[in-house]
Structure 1
C-alpha cells in the first residue's frame, strides 16, 4: 500500500508519520502541505531528522490519486470537504481526521461548524470510524470519518451503560478535559504558554462542536437519548483527554456488576482496557498510545454512576484511530503499527 498525508505539518499529521513509518503494510507514503512545498518534513519537525527526509509536496489531487491507495486528510475542518470528493470519485480510499464527514445531515454540520457542508451524496458514503462500534461497516468503507477526540472517549465510556443498563438518558453529564495539543499547532493566544501554564479554564461552554457528534454516536445504542450536558476544559499539559461522565440508572446496580459489564462489552477489543474495581485511569497511562482506558463506579449513597475514560487525543483521538481504521479496511491485524506501549512518565 502507498499512502499520502495531506496536512502533514500539523500535530495529527506528525503522528501519522510516526505510525506509518513503522507500519508493516505501508510500502511508501508522501507528505503534502499547502504552505511549505519543497521543504523537508524534518525542517518542520526536527525529531524526524535522519529518520525521513521526505519533501512536502503540493496538494495536487489528480497526482495524489494516481500515486496513492489511501489518503489521510489531517487538515482543519472545512478543507477536506472540498478535496475528498475528487479522491472518492477516483477510487482512492480516504480517512478524514477532520469533522467534515461525521454527520449524515449537512444542516447539523453547518449549524455547529459555521460553514457549508460537503455534498450530501458524499456524506452518505462516509462511515463513522469508531471501530469498536462500527467494525463491520469500516471493513467495507471507502471513506472513513475519523471520530473526534472528545467523542471517542465519551462514546466508548458510555456505550456499555446505554446498551445494557436502564439509564435516565436526560441525566448524562460529561465533564471533559484536554491538553493544549487539541487546539492544533497554529499559533493562538488561547494556547500561549503564559495563558495555559498554571491555569485551568473552561471553553466553548454549551456550544462545543463535538456535542452533536457525541449525541449522534450515542443514539446508535440508545435511540431515545435526551440532549446531553457536555463541557470542556483546557488543562496545562500537552496531550491527553479525560472524560468524567455522570449518569443515573433507573434501577439500583453495583460497582462489581458494572465492572463485569464493561469487561464483557470490550473483551475482544484490543485498544480498550477496563480497570479493576476501585481503580481509575490517568491520562499519562495512555500517553502516546492507541488505548482508551476506562474505570467505572457506582455510588450507593447517591445512586449515580461515574465513568472515567482517558485517551491520548493525538493517537486514539486522531492518528492512531485512523491507522486502526486503515488496518480494519485492509483486513489485516487491527494492531499493525500500533503495538507499542504507552510512554511513561
Structure 2
C-alpha cells in the first residue's frame, strides 16, 4: 500500500470512523473509530499502520474531497482526554523563518552583529544534522497547548481578545503516540497551520512563549511511512472572496537546518514527554510568513495551505474571541 494517508471522519449522526486513502482511492477502515486506536493496535501487535489497515479489511468507498467540503472530516489525530494531547514545536529550522525572525528582532538588538535568533539558526546549520549516533545541536523549542486548542480542518482559528495578531504559519507537524514502555512512535506527518501572534513576539522576542499559546490546525490527512525529503506547497490568504496574498513554502529535510530525527531526539529526551498513552503534535517550523511581508490579517480572512503529497488543502477562517476577564479569588 503506497502513500497511505489516514483521515478521521464523523458522520451526521456522530458516528466516528477512520478512512484509509491511497493513490487508488479511499475507503473506510472497518472496526476502528480513531487513528489513535489503530496505532495502539499496531504497537501492541508489533506491526505498523499499513499492516494494521490491511488486517482490518476494506470498507465502503469514500470521496474524501466531498467529505471535507461537507465538514465531516476531523483532525487526523485526537485524544479522548485533550489534556493528554500535547502540542509543541521547534523554530528557526528553515532559512526563511530565521530571516523573518531576524527582521523582527534586529531593531531590538541593533548593537549586536547577529541577533540571538540568527545565532541560534547558525548553530543549527552547523550542528543540526549530526551523523548517526551523535547528538546534534538543540533547536529553539516552545509549548503551544493541549488538545483543546486543536482546530479541525475548515474550523475557525480564534485569536483571544488580548491578542495583537493572528497570523498563519504553514508547516509540517509530526504526530506521535507514546507506547506502553515509553517509546515514542511516529505515526506520520500532517500539513499544519501553527497559528501565532507575531506582533506580540516582535515587541520582545522573550515573549515568544506568550505568542505561541494559541490554537493550531492540522490538515485532514496523516501521511504515514517514510518522511519526504522535499515538500513544496503554497500558503494563501483570502479576504472577502478574493486572493489577498500567496507565496510558495518549502519544507522537508532538504530545506531544513535540522534533521527530523534531531528535532525528535531533543523533544523526547525529556521523561515528561514519554508518558505512555500521550499523543504529541510537534510542529517542525516554517519558511514562509505573510507577516514578514507586511500583511496584517483581519477577522474573516481565510488561510489556505496545500502541498503534495497531501491531496487535500487545509483551510481555516480567522476569528476573534470576545473579552473574557479572569478574576483570581483567594480561598
Q: Please indicate the TM-score interval, normalised by the length of the shorter structure.
A: under 0.3
Higher helix proportion, which one?
1
Instruction: Return the TM-score normalized by structure 1.
Output: 0.25
Higher strand proportion: 2
Comparing both chains, which one has the higher relative contact order based on Cα–Cα distances under 8 Å and sequence gaps of 6 or more?
2
